[in-house]
Amino acid sequence: MPFKYEELGLSNTKAMFEKALNEGYAVPGYNFNNMEQLQAIVTACAQSGSPVILQVSKGARAYANSTMLIYMAHGAVKMVREELKSEIPIALHLDHGGDFEICKSCIDSGFSSVMYDGSHLPYEENIKITKQVVEYAHARGVSVEAELGVLAGIEDDVHAEESTYTDPDKVVDFVNRTGCDSLAISIGTSHGAYKFKVDRIEDVPPLRIDILKEIQQKLGRKYPIVLHGSSSVLQEYVKMINDNGGNLEKAFGVREDQIREATKYGVAKVNIDSDGRLVVTAIIRKIFNEKPKVFDPRKYLGPARDELIKMMKRKNKEVLGCAGAYPSIE
């Protein structure tokens, strides 16, 4: 099933990031696992005139089936172009690729962007494999994201007990030697819904904007920086889950004003996964609790999809600042 990403109507991230850096906003990297999430992402972004990066983890690729996933992405592009009448750029991106082979497989099947995550490896080994991925990808016009520094937390196959902040003194050497198109850094964000070991939301520590500023100074204002683990763990949905039989205690995320601040200093892409999971779970739990006779999946997946659209449109406008970057249907 070899495809070139252009055949699927996808874009790589180069022009997306150039425009984002010039205009001072971040492109959303929204993760999806199923049809309803994908529908919500492209609908929200088309309606808000936002570019979008459709993100797939190794686990999501296995869950959705790698063959079906490609056709889902192609269908999503067709839906945006032909029904929503929008020309927003859409990338399909591998999130946290763990080795060269999965990156190669995704590139060969039509992904327009891949991330190789060697952040857990010794520095030189990270450079070696990242460079290998870059050489293969660039020969096919595909963008590559790499990572330097380690984020704490758990999300799919990504697991680390503690964060290791990105060393600003290494970023220029790493980017120059690997040729990566964007760099994910660690400045205090974290994977999953339990991002911080605090008892109150007021105690959530701020991001290390000072490290971000230093990294931007060294890489230059036109180099795209990426923040992973940037869900805010929206408390209204945490409460909805807990009010309807769930048990999420001390689940707190990154402050949204901190994400907005980061876009001023070279952050051109922000990854959001957990917030989407929380929205879906909250709505489904509420419906199951209030309407125990419901058994038609459309009756609970449909409302979950609608709430996702609402949440993402607000994120695009108020947090990432990307709403209106491209012609909107609204």
298 Cβ contact partners less than 8 Å away, ≥ 6 residues apart: none
Nearest alpha carbon to residue 315 among 264, 263, 240: 263
237 Cβ contact partners less than 8 Å away, ≥ 6 residues apart: 275, 278, 279, 281, 282
Task: Say how far apart CA 163 and CA 172 lie, in whole Å.
Answer: 21
95 is catalytic: yes
Nearest alpha carbon to residue 72 among 106, 39, 112: 39
The active-site residue out of 95, 117, 181, 275 is: 95
Long-range Cβ contact pairs of 127-135 (< 8 A, separation 24 or more)? 127/174, 127/177, 127/178, 129/99, 129/100, 130/174, 130/178, 130/180, 131/177, 131/178, 131/179, 132/100, 133/97, 133/100, 133/103, 133/104, 134/178, 134/179, 134/180, 134/181, 135/179
Task: Say how far apart CA 113 and CA 187 lie, in whole Å.
Answer: 23
Buried b / exposed e over 258-270, threshold 16 CB at 10 Å, is: bbbebbebbbbbb
Nearest alpha carbon to residue 235 among 250, 218, 220: 250
DSSP sequence for 279-327:
HHHHHHHHHHHH-TT---HHHHHHHHHHHHHHHHHHIIIIII--TTSS-
List residues with catalytic annotation: 95
